Amino acid sequence: MLLDAPTAVHLRRLSPLDFLERSAAVYRERVAVVDGDARWTYPEMLERVYRFAHVLAALGVVKGDRVAVLCKNESTLLEAHFAVPAAGAILCALNIRLVKNEIEYIAGHCGATVVVYDAEFAPLVADLPTPVVRISVDDLAALIAHASSERFDNPASDEDETISINYTSGTTGQPKGVMYTHRGAYQNALAEIFHAGLRPESVYLWTLPMFHCNGWCFPWAVTAAGATHVCLPKVDPERIFALIEREGVTHFCGAPTVLIGLANHPGAKPFARPVSVTTAGAPPAPTTIAQMEALGAVITHVYGLTETYGPVTVCAWQPQWDTLEPAERARMKARQGVGMLTVGPDDVRVVRNEPAADGSLVDVPRDGATQGEIVMRGNNVMKGYYDDPAATARAFAGGYFHSGDIAVWHADGYLEIQDRAKDVIISGGENISTVQVEKAILEHAAVLECAVVAKPDDKWGEVPKAFVTLKPGASLGEDELIAHCRERLPGYKTPKAVEFGDLPKTSTGKIQKFVLREREWQDKGKRVN
């Protein structure tokens, strides 16, 4: 994929598609994918990807089209990370935890021409507009079996072209489509290889959803390393321990809630070999880190957002920290850290709320106490929000992406999150829009007004809690309201607790959410659990 003359000799477009072709040529006997009882080598995986791309072309997919995939962590979604861009299209991996109207909105917003889905999710895509081609995984597999295996190469003409669109969880209402580029995906995958320590002999277990930030770019990273992908449709601690032992798993990723589930599972036992675990989604508790290390896990803590291809910083470990007491060592590891390998020295900053007179951003002092917002730019930052230039402009104010996360900057250059500026709840690694939850609550006839904030939770980090004022004379119980929300929201977005009463307000009648948050987090040192 060389660039045009006269620069063709010394430049090549960066695209993660090259990773699969290289591994198929270099690691010809290496098992690339384990999916249940099925196994494929890298040459076989490449052939399946070619066949997949030919099927998409036969379905009418042309360069620039969007192909949505609604699948669990299985080989179809893994191969789609290569087959869809190989066909010249843009991958939209859909969150399987969303409800029907959310799936319909995303498919419509991105303009998907083809939707690939697991049979169990058929009801979620049943009412998509007629022009959209819907094809089940089973039907796709039958077509792939008879498709051409000839090399399919319809590459991006520019490494800045969009390779995927990942939708946020609607942190300010409707979800936004985050555009990743071929270049960004390539660079982030290389950083993941370095920080996770992936090698050709590595075996990676898919505990992290592939639909989430393209699995933090690990579909491309594991492939580039020539390592083995072990598919896992559902996070099940018992199954995870069994696969670690049976397949010789060496690496996996997951939010702290996954680690909590493993560390506290009745069948938990030390791993037969060290297992490298990359965690993010919420700051891991030092206790969780210590528990996992006792099982033989080597924890790498990273931080990022959908808008940064997943991880953008890493708590890069310093050898001198090895001598610290376990509790202090775990506390150091819980910090969000410094920019990853492909992030420039000034690409991640903590800045004051108010810019300078000339509009430039001003860093907070590195004193571990002064709070500011985390901002980013560079290779790990999205191209922008799909079909939303206004939101893109707001997010990129001052030449940086504004995370909305509040942190302090330590003297050693490591940042540590303290709070969140946006009304976003991060529960088990999933973003929850409080606005969306409030809208669902307000649909109940007995509700006058409400506010939703994060409540600390030992398992999920934080969960939604609703504060509700009822209409005069109305009667409503906690269980009834939660059931009402469960009919309208995915389970993880449903409030886990409800408190009835008057809401704190300003003199102008605005609900003071910060008062409610302070009340829920008053026993915590900081408002991130």
370: CATH: 2.30.38.10
In terms of domains, do 131 and 59 share one? yes
Q: What is the pLDDT of residue 291?
A: 86
Q: Is 401 among the domain residues?
A: yes
**Radius of gyration of the chain measured on its C-alpha atoms:** 23
Instruction: Find the domain containing 383 and state its range.
Output: 345-420
Question: CB under 8 Å, gap of 24 or more: what pairs does 478-481 form?
Answer: 481/441, 481/444, 481/447
In terms of domains, do 87 and 120 share one? yes
Q: Is 475 helix (H, G, I), strand (E, B) or coil?
A: coil
Q: What confidence category does residue 135 fall into, taking pLDDT thresholds of 50, 70 and 90?
A: very high
Q: Which residue did the predictor score with more confidence, 155 or 237?
A: 237
Helices (H), 255-358: 256-263, 286-295, 326-333
Cβ proximity of 14 and 186 under 8 Å = yes
Give the residues across from 133 on adjacent strands.
Answer: 114
Least confident stretch, 279-283, 314-318, 511-515, 520-524: 279-283
Q: Is 284 among the domain residues?
A: no
pTM of the model: 0.86
Q: Is 119 among the domain residues?
A: yes
Q: What is the pLDDT of residue 170?
A: 58
The mean per-residue pLDDT over the stretch 177-181 comes to 98
Half-sphere exposure of 99 (CA within 13 A, CB side): 14
Q: Of 164, 188, 220, which closes a domain?
A: 220
Cβ proximity of 77 and 96 under 8 Å = no
Q: Is 194 among the domain residues?
A: yes
The mean per-residue pLDDT over the stretch 403-416 comes to 93
- What share of the chain has pLDDT > 90, as a percent? 73
Has residue 408 got a pLDDT over 80?
yes
Q: Is 197 among the domain residues?
A: yes
Has residue 282 got a pLDDT over 80?
no
Least confident stretch, 171-185, 194-208, 231-245, 471-485: 171-185
Least confident stretch, 368-377, 404-413, 477-486, 518-527: 518-527
Q: Of 385, 420, 455, which closes a domain?
A: 420
In terms of domains, do 39 and 183 share one? yes
| Residue 210 DSSP symbol | T
Q: What is the CATH number of the domain that holds 468?
A: 3.30.300.30
In terms of domains, do 129 and 176 share one? yes
Has residue 1 got a pLDDT over 60?
no
CB neighbour class for 393 (10 Å; exposed up to 12, middle 13-18, buried from 19): exposed
The mean per-residue pLDDT over the stretch 321-328 comes to 88
The mean per-residue pLDDT over the stretch 24-47 comes to 98
- How long is the chain? 529
Q: What confidence category does residue 117 fall into, taking pLDDT thresholds of 50, 70 and 90?
A: very high
Comparing CA positions, the residue from 461, 453, 465 lying closest to residue 423 is 453
Number of independent structural domains in the chain: 3
Q: Which residue did the predictor score with more confidence, 230 or 329?
A: 230
In terms of domains, do 360 and 503 share one? no
Give one word for 217, left, alpha or beta, with left for phi > 0 and alpha for psi -120 to 50.
Answer: left
For residue range 478-529, list pLDDT tens digits in order.
999 999 999 999 999 999 999 999 999 854 456 888 899 889 988 776 666 6
Q: What confidence category does residue 184 fall into, taking pLDDT thresholds of 50, 70 and 90?
A: very high
Q: Is 143 among the domain residues?
A: yes
In terms of domains, do 394 and 498 share one? no
Q: What is the pLDDT of residue 183?
A: 97
Cβ proximity of 366 and 413 under 8 Å = yes
46-76 per-residue burial string, b: 16 or more CB within 10 A, e: under 16: bbbbbbbbbbbbebebeeebbbbbbbbbbbb
In terms of domains, do 120 and 40 share one? yes
For residue range 205-227, list pLDDT tens digits in order.
999 999 999 999 999 999 999 99
The mean per-residue pLDDT over the stretch 396-419 comes to 92
353 contacts: CB under 8 Å, gap ≥ 6: 372, 373
For residue range 437-474, list pLDDT tens digits in order.
888 898 898 998 899 999 999 888 899 999 999 988 99
Has residue 154 got a pLDDT over 80?
no
In terms of domains, do 44 and 173 share one? yes
Q: How many CB atoms lie within 10 A of CB 146?
A: 9
Has residue 172 got a pLDDT over 90?
no
Helix H or strand E encompassing 219: helix 218-225
Q: What is the DSSP annotation of 142-189?
A: HHHHHS--S------SSTTSEEEEEE---TTSS--EEEEEHHHHHHHH
Least confident stretch, 48-52, 57-61, 165-169, 237-241: 165-169
Q: What is the pLDDT of residue 361?
A: 96
Q: Which residue did the predictor score with more confidence, 446 or 327?
A: 446
Q: What is the pLDDT of residue 284?
A: 72
CA distance 423 to 435: 8
Q: What is the pLDDT of residue 2?
A: 47
Q: Is 276 among the domain residues?
A: no
Pairing of strands 133-136, 228-230: unpaired
Comparing CA positions, the residue from 407, 402, 405, 336 lying closest to residue 370 is 407
CA distance 94 to 70: 5
Q: What confidence category does residue 38 fall into, taking pLDDT thresholds of 50, 70 and 90?
A: very high
Tokens standing for residue 361: 């951003």
Q: Is 492 helix (H, G, I), strand (E, B) or coil?
A: helix
Q: Of 191, 220, 249, which closes a domain?
A: 220
Comparing CA positions, the residue from 278, 254, 228 lying closest to residue 35 is 228
Has residue 5 got a pLDDT over 60?
no
In terms of domains, do 407 and 438 share one? no
C-alpha 158 chain-centroid distance: 25
Has residue 171 got a pLDDT over 50?
no
Tokens standing for residue 175: 């979800």
Q: Is 32 among the domain residues?
A: yes
Cβ proximity of 255 and 429 under 8 Å = yes
In terms of domains, do 126 and 182 share one? yes
In terms of domains, do 65 and 147 share one? yes
In terms of domains, do 153 and 64 share one? yes
CA distance 199 to 358: 47
The mean per-residue pLDDT over the stretch 304-330 comes to 93
CA distance 235 to 230: 13
The mean per-residue pLDDT over the stretch 360-369 comes to 95
Comparing CA positions, the residue from 99, 86, 69 lying closest to residue 15 is 86
Q: What confidence category does residue 430 fall into, taking pLDDT thresholds of 50, 70 and 90?
A: confident
